[in-house]
Chains A and B, each alone.
Chain A
Amino acid sequence: DQQVKQNSPSLSVQEGRISILNCDYTNSMFDYFLWYKKYPAEGPTFLISISSIKDKNEDGRFTVFLNKSAKHLSLHIVPSQPGDSAVYFCAASARRSGGGADGLTFGKGTHLIIQP
């Protein structure tokens, strides 16, 4: 049972345009969401996160939107650059009573290709 789903295995976007990566989740206990970027032969690199008390978080060219009622989040990259070509993972966690949070539940990733 996949609790975090990224339904697009790949996405091709022209340089300078907006890239929109989507993620859906099923577990209503998730309250903290993150996006990671991964290059081959490297570990995932943290990009941006959002707590369930917010619906938008921005950091430079990256913006994450959260729609709790639809259990959907998206990552917008504007403008897209060639160095953004990588696999992007959506991840989620649930805070635990007594403090802390569970380990992250990851989607299977979307391969973003930025075309020159």
Chain B
Amino acid sequence: DSGVTQTPKHLITATGQRVTLRCSPRSGDLSVYWYQQSLDQGLQFLIQYYNGEERAKGNILERFSAQQFPDLHSELNLSSLELGDSALYFCASSALMGQPQHFGDGTRLSIL
């Protein structure tokens, strides 16, 4: 158990819809990262937050956004969903930026 909690584990929705994925980092970790794992692209970094502030952006689409709240949990919002957004979405956390990241078990998003 990494200590990183992601909910829900599975999400099934339709094209055009909007969903919110939630992540609770390990106790004491200030940095949260979001990754997308699809069959063809592997694990891709999306975005990073540190103590409530956005710190780095990777290959995140404009339809996607995230935030980190004062209690340090984070949410990833995906809107105008397309079939290609079907993937595993992982959250990771680390105590400080640049230290090993510890991953949750992911949310599997299926778009029908």
Contact = CB atoms under 8 A, between A and B. Distances in A.
- The answer to whether A and B assemble together is yes
A18 interface: no
Interface residues of A, number: 26
Interface in B54-86: 55-56, 58
Given A41-B105, A100-B50, A100-B56, A46 B100 contact: yes
B104 interface: yes
Contacts of A44: 43, 90, 103
Contact of B98 (A36, A91, A100): A100
A102 B56 contact: yes
A105 B2 CA distance: 20
Interface stretch (A65-73, A77-85, A106-114): A106-114
A100 to B, nearest CB: 3
A100 B4 CA distance: 20
A32 B103 contact: no
Give the top 6 A-B pairs by smallest Cβ distance, nearest first.
A103-B45, A100-B97, A43-B103, A101-B98, A106-B43, A108-B42
